[in-house]
Chain A
Amino acid sequence: MIRVLALVAILTAIAILILVVRSKLLGSREEQRPIPDQPSPAKGLLMFLLTLPVLVAAIIAMARGLLMPMIGNAVGYGLLLGGAWLLWRGLVAEAAYAHRLVAKTPWPLKTVGGGLIGLGTGLTAWLGVGHHPGIAFAFGLVALLGCRLFYGTDPVEAKRVTAASGLDTTDQVLAALTQAERSIAAVEQSSRDIRQPELNQRLRRVAALAREILTLLEEDPRDLRRARKFLNIYLDGVQRVVEGYARTHQRAASPDLDANFRRVLTSIEEVFQEQRRKLLESDIMDLDVQIEVLTSQLRREGLL
């Protein structure tokens, strides 16, 4: 009877662990940032699944009263779990870094994660299995090397952007983009509290337009100066209005308020479309100038 209960407890713990890890790895829809090339969840799950026997070993060692193996396995599993988690976060950070055109150097999460995996493997081999410390050290080293080769190294260089004056404006650009991302996320979050399909659809369109504008700004951060009004005034304003409407809408329904909000959203959509058009036009103008310069250069050299 006790064995059956223990088995049920272990299986339940494993099932909960898998569910937690899965939800954390895949992330909830709310938390997902729009990065098209997310790392494969299988790559992250590998380490979580591979280390599960250590958890079971720790539980069995505890049930059998084996102190040192229990401590070794429990601490080893903690380190392995922490390492697996950091490796996954490192992969996500690397995907975000690869996707962004302006980015700071990410934390060396994969390196630290690999280190923890090495340490956890060594400790498990030493105290959990009972290997000689030298052999356990070799286990740790091989695990570290394996992580290094399989997961790769962390990005080391920041993707910087320089203004026409020669000043490094990376921090300013990143701060503005992050703030704008936060505002868009807040708008999307508030729109979930609004139970009107038409307004929801409109808000989704506004958020998509705002994201498109952010992508354009990231592609050419020189436009950031021109788009500051959009970022500081419109986006913040939209966030405040949508949050306020979502709050009031929940307490009391008012047709006048709905009509006003609908009107404001229409104006916002128009402003955002105008902003996008201006940014695209500016890109076209830049390209026109570049083509003109190239054509005159080719003419001067007698190639045209």
Chain B
Amino acid sequence: MPDFPRKVLGLLLILAAVGVASWQALAVSCSSPAAAAAETARQAAQSR
């Protein structure tokens, strides 16, 4: 594959995977208190 399209495709894939996963992780961490409460409840249930 020629150099330029290869790099553009690579950059798009990096943005699609690393960028999306990073921002999703941040969004989940900042999500509503209900989600946090559910997570805490899940952890509590697991520990029981």
Among B7, B16, B30, which residue has its beta carbon within 8 angstroms of that of A60?
A: B30
Among A57, A64, A72, A143, which residue has its beta carbon within 8 angstroms of that of B14?
A: A143
With a 10 A CB-CB cut-off, give which of B9, B29, B30, B36 has the most chain A CB atoms: B29
Q: What distance in Å separates the Cβ of A76 from its nearest Cβ neighbour in chain B?
A: 7
Given A50-B18, A64-B36, do A73 and B13 touch, yes or no (CB 8 Å)?
no
> How many Å lie between the Cα of A64 and that of B7 in the bound state?
39
Closest-by-CB residue of A relative to B43 is A67
Among A73, A145, A146, which residue has its beta carbon within 8 angstroms of that of B29?
A: A73
Q: Is the CB of A54 within 8 A of B13?
A: no
Closest-by-CB residue of A relative to B28 is A129
Q: Is the CB of A50 within 8 A of B29?
A: no
With a 10 A CB-CB cut-off, give which of B23, B28, B43 has the most chain A CB atoms: B28
Among B14, B22, B36, which residue has its beta carbon within 8 angstroms of that of A146?
A: B14
**Chain A interfacial residues counted at CB < 8 A:** 40
Q: Is the CB of B40 within 8 A of A50?
A: no
Among B13, B23, B24, B28, which residue has its beta carbon within 8 angstroms of that of A142?
A: B13
Q: Is the CB of B18 within 8 A of A47?
A: yes
Among A54, A66, A68, A125, which residue has its beta carbon within 8 angstroms of that of B26?
A: A54
Q: Is the CB of A146 within 8 A of B21?
A: no
Chain B residue numbers with a CB within 8 Å of A60 are 26, 29-30
Among A130, A140, A148, A149, which residue has its beta carbon within 8 angstroms of that of B28?
A: A130
Given A54-B26, A57-B25, A117-B18, do A68 and B39 touch, yes or no (CB 8 Å)?
yes
> How many Å lie between the Cα of A56 and that of B27 in the bound state?
10
Q: Is the CB of A53 within 8 A of B12?
A: no
A242 at interface, CB cutoff 8 A: no
A80 at interface, CB cutoff 8 A: yes
Q: Is the CB of A57 within 8 A of B26?
A: yes
Q: Is the CB of A125 within 8 A of B24?
A: yes
Q: Is the CB of B18 within 8 A of A80?
A: yes
With a 10 A CB-CB cut-off, give which of B11, B39, B43 has the most chain A CB atoms: B39
> How many Å lie between the Cα of A140 and that of B13 in the bound state?
11
Q: Report A's interface with B, CB cutoff 8 A.
A: 46-47, 50-54, 56-58, 60-61, 64-69, 72-73, 76, 80, 117, 121, 124-125, 128-130, 139-140, 142-143, 145-151
4 shortest A-B CB distances, which residue pairs? A150-B10, A149-B10, A146-B13, A146-B14
